[in-house]
Structure 1
């Protein structure tokens, strides 16, 4: 649909303002308005709307499905292992996985509505709840990453103080409860001032709040969601890296030298994992924040193709899907649990579809393999794997 030339300027300004929210929550308004303006321009997606639907549909589906499956896997592994649950950092990682999972789930309706491109098709009450929940889980994810950074900083740089705090379950509960409550307070404007507006279609947009107030609120989001976490976490992890990889890292008062080396190695791996997770978050959100700063703070109009703007919002959603991948790559415990899940899935497929498994190779269990094989290496591999799982250390 081509926009009316008389209203084209106002439509573009409104679309840019909506896009700069920094999350997929406002993609519906931005997509419908900017696509109408750019419909007359020669581009691959505008000439082939089916290709546009297929490409971005597949991208959204892959990101959301992989993120949901990965975060559910992380939640299940931590909850089912008592040793993991006894560690404070794992409890923070559990809550972070819950926040990322909620963000992906409640962003899915907006992703579908963007591809349909017919405005807001859901009930009016869903506008308030979806906008609130999307921002709620996004704020919680950022605050939890800051809480994890503080927890690791205390555990590495002030172990005695952290040990005194970690023995109190109420301390961890109060910190986690405070994070979720603060996230709810920051996201409350979306519940109060989001409503249904009409502009050729029905949209879920800001309602009952002035443009100046919205601009100030977006400045606060820039500071809380991006600037403060970037400076704060960069400072904390820089200090932790100097302690772990410097001379101070070998000065822990531990009698057993081998135990000292094992703890130091484990702490280094955990910090590496958290630094990668932090970097991916800021890499995913930096492009949108840069556009917002250029357009609002520097008063410089940024003209980007609609598909590129949509791709930047896809990148912001992808930040909630990358954490499980980082955990599995960096943490041995999650890799072993993923291997066990894959083995269980393979055994289930062999049981459900025996005709596919018995073509050339038989699906046999581990006890049958041990009985049939006379090689001593079979039992050696099995016992070594069992011992490694028994002696597996949890995240410190």
Structure 2
């Protein structure tokens, strides 16, 4: 590969030598000019440092990216599950139960996509047992489909709570359980072809791919998958959230969602929740849009699109990121999750100080909460502590 900075010099020198060769009849001159051309190409055409030409660097960089995204997503989703399960007020809300199941779906997707991400990175074919091909492909698609359907269920629940409060303020417990059971069952039905028709095929290397199903049937299935689990949710959720935004941020009279004394607080809370859900939806579809566009291009052009290795890995990184971004969005947009994260950070800090007391910089850093009043010089510590406790006690659940 020629260095672009030296390309002009090489072309000019080559043109000069070729012209002199064509106009010269002396063989010695031809040999001399040819030797000059070779020396110019050797000195001026230093190869560029190709990132993908260094397998070890290639593996390390993308391996670190995958590891950071997967670890952050697993820890974040476990944190969301833990916070919702440990708070009875949160569990009493239907939308929080949907968010709990969404976090479980994202967690499962990250866990069962990890082996596939490693295999794609190594690029040595399928190295796992044969039964893992059926199981991993099924679980990957199962949790992915559940995530999409749960986002649709959350959109419907929010729409009914915000735009039709007189008929149904929120899902009842029975309705919530029924919807959740339906979501997981429908996701299993859509993912079942991956369990039945994924197997080990050999083409220079072993791969986990479609087996025992015709190409035409597989194409029809992928079209249905694109329409039912991507296009319809995208249009459906965009429409619902557009209507909700018009109600919450429009000039309409919002007294229908609460009485006058509660209107401002509930409106503010519902706006924050809807913003959080919109951001989560947009991130999901942005992460999966490139894969869907690639599929449509292949069908329109009627041939397989050959992608470079780095681009193929980038698409895999995007698909994994879709399950890792939700906890970050929740923590940024929701005050309750931020407070819980501070509590966890404070607990970890206290544990580290207890485990490694020699690293404490001050005698006032690693202290028991009961000793705070004795050690503090400020008369407002107890006031601040009680105000924080009262604010937590009065925290509303997500509406």
Please say whether Structure 1 and Structure 2 have the same fold, judged by a TM-score greater than 0.5. Answer: yes
* Mean CA deviation greater in 110-119 or 68-77: 110-119
**1:191 and 1:215 mapped to 2: Cα distance?**
17
Helix, strand or coil at the partner of 2:263: helix
Pairwise mapping of residues 155-304 of structure 1 onto structure 2 (< 5 A)? 155-163=161-169, 166-167=171-172, 169-248=173-252, 250-252=254-256, 254-255=258-259, 257-299=260-302, 302=305, 304=307
- Deviation at residue 246 of structure 1 after TM alignment: 1.6
8 Å CA contact 2:117–2:316 kept in 1: the answer is no
Q: Rate the CA distance shift 1:362–1:155 in 2: closer, same or farther, 3 A.
A: closer
- Deviation at residue 105 of structure 1 after TM alignment: 0.3
Report the equivalent of 1:37.
Answer: none
Is it true that 1:124 corresponds to 2:127 in the alignment?
no
Helix, strand or coil at the partner of 1:203: strand
- Deviation at residue 112 of structure 1 after TM alignment: 1.7
8 Å CA contact 2:73–2:324 kept in 1: the answer is yes
- Deviation at residue 102 of structure 1 after TM alignment: 0.3
Helix, strand or coil at the partner of 1:161: coil
Largest Rg, 1 or 2: 2
Q: Rate the CA distance shift 1:121–1:249 in 2: closer, same or farther, 3 A.
A: farther
Is it true that 1:342 corresponds to 2:345 in the alignment?
yes
8 Å CA contact 2:126–2:207 kept in 1: the answer is yes
8 Å CA contact 2:120–2:313 kept in 1: the answer is no
**1:150 and 1:359 mapped to 2: Cα distance?**
53
TM-score where L is the length of structure 1: 0.85
TM-score where L is the length of structure 2: 0.85
- Deviation at residue 214 of structure 1 after TM alignment: 1.2
1:83-125 Cα shifts (integer Å, max 9, x gaps): 0000000000000000000000000111122233322121111
Report the equivalent of 2:27.
Answer: none
Report the equivalent of 1:314.
Answer: 317
Report the equivalent of 2:116.
Answer: 110
Report the equivalent of 1:84.
Answer: 90
- Deviation at residue 242 of structure 1 after TM alignment: 0.6
**1:95 and 1:56 mapped to 2: Cα distance?**
30
Report the equivalent of 1:366.
Answer: 369
Is it true that 1:146 corresponds to 2:149 in the alignment?
no
**1:212 and 1:331 mapped to 2: Cα distance?**
46
Helix, strand or coil at the partner of 1:313: helix
**1:64 and 1:289 mapped to 2: Cα distance?**
22
Aligned pair partner of 2:329 in 326, 331, 339: 326
Aligned pair partner of 1:381 in 379, 384, 387: 384
- Deviation at residue 252 of structure 1 after TM alignment: 2.2
**2:338 and 2:361 mapped to 1: Cα distance?**
28
Report the equivalent of 1:353.
Answer: 356
**1:194 and 1:371 mapped to 2: Cα distance?**
66
Aligned pair partner of 1:67 in 73, 96, 103: 73
Helix, strand or coil at the partner of 2:201: strand
* Mean CA deviation greater in 371-380 or 234-243: 371-380
Q: What is the RMSD computed on CA atoms of the aligned residues?
A: 1.9
Helix, strand or coil at the partner of 1:58: helix
- Deviation at residue 160 of structure 1 after TM alignment: 2.7
Unaligned runs of 5+ in 1: 1-40
Unaligned runs of 5+ in 2: 1-46
8 Å CA contact 2:197–2:211 kept in 1: the answer is yes
* Mean CA deviation greater in 43-52 or 220-229: 43-52
- Deviation at residue 45 of structure 1 after TM alignment: 3.6
Q: Rate the CA distance shift 1:360–1:380 in 2: closer, same or farther, 3 A.
A: closer
- Deviation at residue 200 of structure 1 after TM alignment: 2.2
- Deviation at residue 43 of structure 1 after TM alignment: 7.3
8 Å CA contact 1:288–1:313 kept in 2: the answer is no
8 Å CA contact 1:249–1:264 kept in 2: the answer is no
Report the equivalent of 1:6.
Answer: none
- Deviation at residue 300 of structure 1 after TM alignment: 7.1
8 Å CA contact 2:130–2:199 kept in 1: the answer is yes
